[in-house]
Chains A and B, each alone.
Chain A
Amino acid sequence: GEDVEQSLFLSVREGDSSVINCTYTDSSSTYLYWYKQEPGAGLQLLTYIFSNMDMKQDQRLTVLLNKKDKHLSLRIADTQTGDSAIYFCAERLGGYQKVTFGTGTKLQVIP
């Protein structure tokens, strides 16, 4: 079955690195995603990783995927106040468009 779990809250100081973790249960996932939701807005895709990759880097963002442990993480380097938002981990099952989301992690950046 599909189940995506995240911690609910993370607080970091501006300039530090943030690491948001996620575990998922379905090993047939093809894509894993990180979505960002800013206050009063819909979710926007931040980055994604294909299941045959271990790591993906995009400017300040680093995504790590451990398929054996079904663990996904998002690292934000030099975290800024504008990074304050809710971050949702999501998985897409193989051969099907359904996307399953986690609970979301609220990131608070302290100036």
Chain B
Amino acid sequence: QQQVKQSPQSLIVQKGGISIINCAYENTAFDYFPWYQQFPGKGPALLIAIRPDVSEKKEGRFTISFNKSAKQFSLHIMDSQPGDSATYFCAASSGSWGKLQFGAGTQVVVTP
């Protein structure tokens, strides 16, 4: 039973467009929400993370929006580039020592 539900499964976006990936969770104890980017044959790399005390966090072209009441959070990739083509995983954990619960992943393809 997946504790974090991620959608869509795959996404094709044109260069310069906005990629949006959504995640939803049920466990209200979750208090840490990271996003990871993974290229084929490589390990996941931490992209950006947010805690429930803020509704939005931006780092460069990547923005996390967080809706605590709806128990949803999303990743927005602005001005998408072909180099952003990768699989993106959302995750959630509770407490400083909790295990990460991963979403199923979203394969993003940015066309030139």
The finding on whether chains A and B are genuine partners in a shared complex, rather than unrelated, reads no
Chain A residues engaging chain B, CB cutoff 8 angstroms: none
Give B contacts to A, CB under 8 Å. none
